[in-house]
Chains A and B, each alone.
Chain A
Amino acid sequence: MLTQGNCLMNIRPFGWIALTLWTCSAAAANDPYPSTYRPAASTPTLIRNATVLDGAGRRFDGADVLIRDGKIVAVGPGLPGGDATEVDAKGRWVTPGLIDVHSHLGVYASPGIGATDDGNEATSPVTAAVWAEHSVWPQDPGFATALAGGVTTLQVLPGSANLIGGRGVTLRNVPATTYQAMKFPGAPHGLKMACGENPKRVYGERTQAPSTRMGNVAGYRQAFADAQDYQRQQRKYEAELAAYEKKKERDRDPAERPTPPKRDLQLETLVAAMDGKIQVHVHCYRVDEMAVMLDMAREFGFRIAAFHHGVEAYKLAERLAQEGVCGALWADWWGFKLEAYDGIWENLAYVDAPANGCAIVHSDSEEGIQRLNQETAKAMTRGNRAGLVIPPERAIRWVTSNAARSLGIADRVGTLEPGKAADVVIWNRDPFSVYALADLVYIDGAVAFDRSRPPATPPSDFLLGQPGAAR
């Protein structure tokens, strides 16, 4: 009671995940804040005799995993390793690196004080122009603790104070002094939107729009209507420019060269969402509001990658599956506000149940991100108790390949299929246990965390030299 609930009362990022699979290279090429991430040096590695959950729905017992040049080469029994360093994993389990689609590490960093309160630009209900990456503090100690929990990739989102909170960024979970050195190369941005109580409370208390749910919807719609207008201006300019450039050199009058419309960062983001270049992630708890958002997405021609938090997603599971929308959910959070009152343990399992169902375990928490495996275990257990059949090789998808799908990076990470990045966790036992610990975490084939060799000093500069934090 005395200190509880502070993360619930903050308006934290309750967002959206998207699941488009189209190419992200265009976004990367145009990125003025490009990734400088380079994989750490890796050696060929052969993990021997593990129980492997490959993230694509398969389980291999007594299998090997071969890693070379930072990529998965093969999974199977008795692989020839050649010069590869062998890691004996007998009795241990191997999964893909875990992916959290909903984090605020770096933007709501520890310590949680005014100076680090960088997650919500709560000064206007539509702030599509802001990018979460420009708030990310790479020294947040939470990155290292998440890595110890097997998290290799995470999406950092703006908070949920606003109807449209801004762009999220997908990061590799490596120590760095700049966020660009963590930025997942080529990953599309996310767009964070928020339904329900948070925006209407934040702005309603200031006696400004929105103060109601209908005000919320009017706010999104006007923003996208403005974006449509901007999109038309863009298209018109592009057509005029093309026509101009089509002219023969001697027929061109430089004075007649079309002038591009003034850049509007807000509308650029929304247009990119409508063009499918940004994955749309919607913080939305209630089933009726999710249905409104699905209609609105159709009205303006964008796709929703995922509903985040979605404690009532189980009431809409069939439709979400049909429309290819993921549910990024908690295992057991409920009841801290009215729109979370109908949360049930079986939410993830029910969303997973239909054909093409896409369930994702997310954290929205610096605590929860450290044990996504346990959250998955809880949801799997309750689903099985409710009469569904969810083996571990199915449930692991909720924190690996399904998460990658919603972030638009499923061609790169999320499974142990050949050619994928060698993001790998070796667990000391079945990861779906409270006692499971990550022994080794690889990112792009390089050891990023080794439990047997804890760092002599804290990875975070903030904790370095703090008496009592020396570990």
Chain B
Amino acid sequence: MNRLHRLPLLSCAIALLACTSAGAQDVLIRNAQVHTLTPQGTLERSDVRVRNGRVVEIGSSLPPGAGTTIIEANGRPLTPGLFGGITGLGVTEIEAESVTVDSSAFSGERTDGFLARPEFDATPAFNADAVAIGVNRAEGITFAMIAPNASGTLFAGQGAVARFDGSADPFVAASRTQFLDMGAAATDGVGYSRAAQIMLLQQATREATPGKPLQAGDVRLLTPTGREVLARYLAGGRMAFAVDSAPDIRHVLAYAAGHGVKPVIIGGAQAPQVAAMLAQARVPVVLEPLLNLPGEFDHIGATLENAARLHRAGVPIMFTHFSAGTNTAHKVRQGAGVAVAHGLPWDAALAALTSTPADVFGLGTGAGRIAPGSPADLVLWSGDPLDVTSFAEQVWIGGKSQSMRSRQTELRDRYRPQGAALPAAGP
């Protein structure tokens, strides 16, 4: 290649932030270990060309065009952006301060009986400028499910997947999901009985089912809007059920099959006990890979091998992280690594963070992968993307280089100890 071209391009790569702040120009990432999440697998020492926000070409020794930003990966891993799990990112700033939490239509302290508002939609509360989004994006999280919180009732309401591209409405229309909270953790609004949950779910479903006319004077659970919204999900929509016990999962599968609903299991601590049923129905499970203690009775039997067992059985799996709170959603990456240490194939763990959620939530062809036509939501890692000693060097969403700074890096730099060398900028 032309040496005269090469010099300014390399200096550009060194000063990456300055170079790419202009926006979505062409990018050529060279010499990366490309995790395609396609049948092509992992490509060593390969180049990825990004144009107009999409991956357009993968190969070796691709020539840069004029004005192309070149990133020298030096063999480091390049993956699709990671899925942050089932989160409150953008609708929860500080979990303990209710004035900063918009994820629920109800107060957790409500004692006035059962409320059913499937029409509640958490997404209009989304704030793309939430501090936690910047923090998580800099950790390689480029998309997540923004979910409502049931606060002790059955219907949490609607959520959707957001891409953290900074836009005010980053939601993927096809990802819309109705969330239900069932099992032991969700019984305080329903007489502490999971049988009552089933009863109420059946009643709400009947109210929302076309051809089941309501009678004047009926005791109704749903508002007219609630009936309309639930009816849309009953017509082949996606409903996510937070359930852990094997019996509850069986109920969910029977309900979904009976009503033509696409179910997603969230939690699923005892899912391995019903793995064959889940696999046969191709029902995906979003699991907490670090869960191995019976914090609830419904968790008895959960082990760090849960992810491996479900994968082996053919159940599509994804990850989410609960214990450190929604602001630390990025810990899913560590959880995926732990699952690998306990038997999950490495490629399956990466798929659980990328292509599987993209497919389950309808993000479109090529999403969650690196292939020609894929959205250029990419992360260049300092090392093994699943290891705790690695970190995201650079994140792109829609081909646009994202700031790797956050409120946390501002604090880090303000209080840097004397004698600490400034790290090199950019990859």
A residues at B contact (CB < 8 Å) = 1-9, 110-113, 141-142, 145, 197, 314-315, 317, 330, 332-338, 341-346, 350, 353-354, 365-368, 370-371, 374, 377-378, 380-382, 385-388, 432-437, 462-463, 466-469, 471
A317 contacts B417, C-beta separation under 8 Å: yes
A197 contacts B96, C-beta separation under 8 Å: yes
Q: From residue B169, how far is it (CB to closest CB) to chain A in Å?
A: 20
Q: From residue B33, how far is it (CB to closest CB) to chain A in Å?
A: 17
B417 contacts A353, C-beta separation under 8 Å: yes
> Assuming the A-B contacts A1-B103, A387-B423, are A463 and B324 also in contact, with contact meaning beta carbons closer than 8 angstroms in the complex?
no
B389 contacts A432, C-beta separation under 8 Å: yes
Q: 1/0 contact trace for B169-189 toward A, CB 8 Å?
A: 000000000010100011000
B147 contacts A1, C-beta separation under 8 Å: yes
A332 contacts B337, C-beta separation under 8 Å: no
Cα of A60 to Cα of B185 in the assembled complex, Å = 49
List 11 other contacts, CB 8 Å, given A5-B95, A6-B295, A378-B334.
Answer: A1-B86, A2-B186, A145-B292, A342-B411, A366-B295, A370-B290, A433-B387, A435-B340, A435-B341, A466-B300, A468-B301
Chain B contacts with A in 404-422, Cβ cutoff 8 A: 408, 411-412, 415-417, 419-422
A4 contacts B415, C-beta separation under 8 Å: no
Cα of A344 to Cα of B327 in the assembled complex, Å = 12
Cα of A167 to Cα of B111 in the assembled complex, Å = 36
CB of B386 within 8 Å of the partner chain: yes
Taking a contact as CB atoms closer than 8 A, the residue among A344, A368, A386, A434 that contacts B340 in the complex is: A434
- For B296, what are the chain A residues with a Cβ–Cβ distance below 8 Å? 111-112
CB of B338 within 8 Å of the partner chain: yes
Q: From residue B180, how far is it (CB to closest CB) to chain A in Å?
A: 9
- For A335, what are the chain B residues with a Cβ–Cβ distance below 8 Å? 93-95, 131-132, 135, 325, 327-328
- For B426, what are the chain A residues with a Cβ–Cβ distance below 8 Å? none
Taking a contact as CB atoms closer than 8 A, the residue among A2, A380, A463, A466 that contacts B242 in the complex is: A2
Tell me which of A2, A367, A378 has the highest count of chain B C-beta atoms within 10 A of its own C-beta: A2
- For A346, what are the chain B residues with a Cβ–Cβ distance below 8 Å? 412
CB of B281 within 8 Å of the partner chain: no
A434 contacts B391, C-beta separation under 8 Å: no
- For B292, what are the chain A residues with a Cβ–Cβ distance below 8 Å? 145, 370
- For A436, what are the chain B residues with a Cβ–Cβ distance below 8 Å? 341
- For A1, what are the chain B residues with a Cβ–Cβ distance below 8 Å? 86-88, 103, 147-149, 156, 179, 326
Taking a contact as CB atoms closer than 8 A, the residue among B149, B388, B421 that contacts A2 in the complex is: B149
Cα of A471 to Cα of B293 in the assembled complex, Å = 13
- For B96, what are the chain A residues with a Cβ–Cβ distance below 8 Å? 8-9, 197, 336-338
B300 contacts A435, C-beta separation under 8 Å: no
Judged by DSSP, the binding face of A is: loop
Instruction: With CB as the reference atom, state the residue of chain A lying closest to B327.
Output: A335
Instruction: With CB as the reference atom, state the residue of chain A lying closest to B246.
Output: A468
A354 contacts B417, C-beta separation under 8 Å: yes
Stretch in contact with the other chain, from B199-207, B216-224, B265-273: B265-273
B150 contacts A2, C-beta separation under 8 Å: yes
Taking a contact as CB atoms closer than 8 A, the residue among B179, B186, B334, B423 that contacts A434 in the complex is: B334
- For B87, what are the chain A residues with a Cβ–Cβ distance below 8 Å? 1
CB of B260 within 8 Å of the partner chain: no
Q: From residue A281, how far is it (CB to closest CB) to chain B in Å?
A: 21
B416 contacts A332, C-beta separation under 8 Å: no
- For A7, what are the chain B residues with a Cβ–Cβ distance below 8 Å? 323
Cα of A112 to Cα of B298 in the assembled complex, Å = 11
B300 contacts A469, C-beta separation under 8 Å: yes
Instruction: With CB as the reference atom, state the residue of chain B lying closest to A201.
Output: B96
B residues at A contact (CB < 8 Å) = 86-88, 93-97, 103, 131-132, 135, 147-150, 156, 179, 181, 185-186, 242, 246, 266-267, 270, 273, 290-297, 299-301, 303, 321-328, 330-331, 334, 337-338, 340-341, 386-391, 408, 411-412, 415-417, 419-423
27 pairs of residues in contact across A and B, judged by CB atoms under 8 Å: A1-B87, A2-B185, A3-B322, A4-B326, A5-B322, A6-B295, A6-B322, A9-B95, A145-B292, A317-B417, A335-B95, A337-B95, A343-B408, A346-B412, A350-B416, A367-B323, A378-B388, A386-B416, A387-B423, A388-B420, A432-B389, A434-B337, A434-B340, A436-B341, A437-B341, A462-B294, A471-B303
Instruction: With CB as the reference atom, state the residue of chain A lying closest to B421.
Output: A387
- For B334, what are the chain A residues with a Cβ–Cβ distance below 8 Å? 374, 378, 434
Q: From residue A13, how far is it (CB to closest CB) to chain B in Å?
A: 15
Cα of A5 to Cα of B147 in the assembled complex, Å = 14
> Assuming the A-B contacts A111-B294, A336-B325, are A2 and B420 also in contact, with contact meaning beta carbons closer than 8 angstroms in the complex?
no
A382 contacts B391, C-beta separation under 8 Å: yes
Cα of A317 to Cα of B418 in the assembled complex, Å = 11
> Assuming the A-B contacts A2-B150, A2-B267, A315-B415, are A336 and B301 also in contact, with contact meaning beta carbons closer than 8 angstroms in the complex?
no
- For B300, what are the chain A residues with a Cβ–Cβ distance below 8 Å? 463, 466, 468-469
- For B156, what are the chain A residues with a Cβ–Cβ distance below 8 Å? 1-2
Tell me which of A334, A335, A382 has the highest count of chain B C-beta atoms within 10 A of its own C-beta: A335
Q: From residue B415, how far is it (CB to closest CB) to chain A in Å?
A: 5
B323 contacts A2, C-beta separation under 8 Å: no
Tell me which of B97, B132, B328 has the highest count of chain A C-beta atoms within 10 A of its own C-beta: B328
A336 contacts B327, C-beta separation under 8 Å: yes
Q: From residue B27, how far is it (CB to closest CB) to chain A in Å?
A: 23
A366 contacts B408, C-beta separation under 8 Å: no
Taking a contact as CB atoms closer than 8 A, the residue among B147, B295, B387 that contacts A110 in the complex is: B295
Cα of A315 to Cα of B416 in the assembled complex, Å = 9
Instruction: With CB as the reference atom, state the residue of chain A lying closest to B132.
Output: A335
Q: From residue A374, how far is it (CB to closest CB) to chain B in Å?
A: 5
B422 contacts A387, C-beta separation under 8 Å: yes
Instruction: With CB as the reference atom, state the residue of chain B lying closest to A434.
Output: B337
Instruction: With CB as the reference atom, state the residue of chain A lying closest to B186.
Output: A2
Q: From residue A86, how far is it (CB to closest CB) to chain B in Å?
A: 27
A4 contacts B322, C-beta separation under 8 Å: yes
A314 contacts B415, C-beta separation under 8 Å: yes
A433 contacts B388, C-beta separation under 8 Å: yes
B297 contacts A387, C-beta separation under 8 Å: no
Q: From residue A298, how far is it (CB to closest CB) to chain B in Å?
A: 24
- For A385, what are the chain B residues with a Cβ–Cβ distance below 8 Å? 391, 423
- For A343, what are the chain B residues with a Cβ–Cβ distance below 8 Å? 408
> Assuming the A-B contacts A2-B242, A435-B387, are A8 and B95 also in contact, with contact meaning beta carbons closer than 8 angstroms in the complex?
yes
> Assuming the A-B contacts A343-B408, A432-B389, are A386 and B88 also in contact, with contact meaning beta carbons closer than 8 angstroms in the complex?
no
Taking a contact as CB atoms closer than 8 A, the residue among B148, B301, B417 that contacts A469 in the complex is: B301
- For B93, what are the chain A residues with a Cβ–Cβ distance below 8 Å? 335
Cα of A8 to Cα of B97 in the assembled complex, Å = 12
Cα of A436 to Cα of B181 in the assembled complex, Å = 35
A8 contacts B408, C-beta separation under 8 Å: no
Q: From residue A442, how far is it (CB to closest CB) to chain B in Å?
A: 21
- For B181, what are the chain A residues with a Cβ–Cβ distance below 8 Å? 2
A332 contacts B266, C-beta separation under 8 Å: no
Cα of A259 to Cα of B296 in the assembled complex, Å = 52
> Assuming the A-B contacts A377-B388, A381-B391, A386-B420, are A336 and B94 also in contact, with contact meaning beta carbons closer than 8 angstroms in the complex?
yes
